[in-house]
Amino acid sequence: MPESASCSASPCAIEMPSSLSMLLVRHGHTAWSRSGRYQGRSDLPLLPEGRAQASQLGQRLKGRGVSHVFASPLLRAAQTAQIIAEVLGLGVPILDTRLAEIAYGQWEGLTQAEIRRRWPDQLRQWKRFPDGAAAPGGESLGELRERLNHFLTEPPWSAPMEGTVLLVSHLGPIRLALLQAARQPLSMFRQLPVPIASVHRLMLCCEANNFRLSTTSQEQESCALQ
């Protein structure tokens, strides 16, 4: 990870601690994730397997200081968040549309093989140059970045937060947040693995009236200004 960053910053919209610990969680399995179909904004529930994964996540997150849970309103994320909150003995998760998955338009519900037969050029562009492509009728990475940054600079809480905030979201927003924290370009979007039911720790910092997103490891912390 880079040890320093030179980027523009976004102003702090609210009073908050100098840094806030966040855990980003990808939802559990659905029928479409199991069959390799693009989900996007399509609203599928968790499989029994996905509900078990959410329960296991809750057990794994015990003792991590989670105080609040926020989630995408899409059913697979909202159900994952609710199960985790119940295991942790927390209140009902707060849903926020800015955490929703990137929209894949006409590709939703299709496998990659089916998309390749119908849109070979567009799929090739998406796989090679994701920062300059989008599914037909779908959302671009630039648009996803805009709403994710809006969540980070104008979060749904209005008072200083204590403890760790849990965000249950999707492959796209989590990948993008990790890329920004690691100071990597959007062109690297498809190269970053974010498995189903995975957990990723980030820090949201507020210094000199500016937000920055950082990712930590046991050895070092590297920050990228928003």
What pLDDT score was predicted for residue 11?
A: 53
For 93, the domain range is 10-35+49-102+141-225
Average pLDDT of the segment spanning 198-221? 66
Count of other CB atoms within 10 angstroms of residue 8 = 7
Whether 122 is covered by a domain: the verdict is: no
% of residues, the chain, pLDDT over 90: 71
Identify whether 159 is part of a domain.
yes
Catalytic-labelled residue, pool 29, 68, 101, 200: 101
Indicate if the pLDDT at residue 226 is higher than 50: no
Domain annotation covers residue 116: no
Examine residue 109 and state whether it is found in any structural domain, yes or no.
no
The SS3 assignment for 136 reads coil
Which position among 27, 29, 68, 200 bears the catalytic label?
27
46-64 residue pLDDT tens: 999 999 999 999 999 999 9
**Does residue 131 surpass a pLDDT of 80?**
yes
- Residue 182 covered by a domain: yes
Q: What is the pLDDT of residue 1?
A: 26
Please confirm, yes or no, whether 27 is among the known catalytic residues: yes
118, part of any domain: no
Domain-located, residue 5: no
Report the distance separating Cα 184 and Cα 115, nearest Å: 28
How many distinct structural domains can be found in the chain?
Answer: 1
- Residue 162 is part of a domain; what is its CATH number? 3.40.50.1240
Report helix, strand or coil for 167: strand
DSSP state of 36: T
Tell whether the model's pLDDT for residue 8 goes beyond 60: no
In a domain, 126, yes or no: no
| Cα torsion angle, 201, 215, 195, 176, sign | positive
* Rounded CA separation 12/152 (Å): 9
Do the beta carbons of residue 18 and residue 206 sit within 8 Å?
A: yes
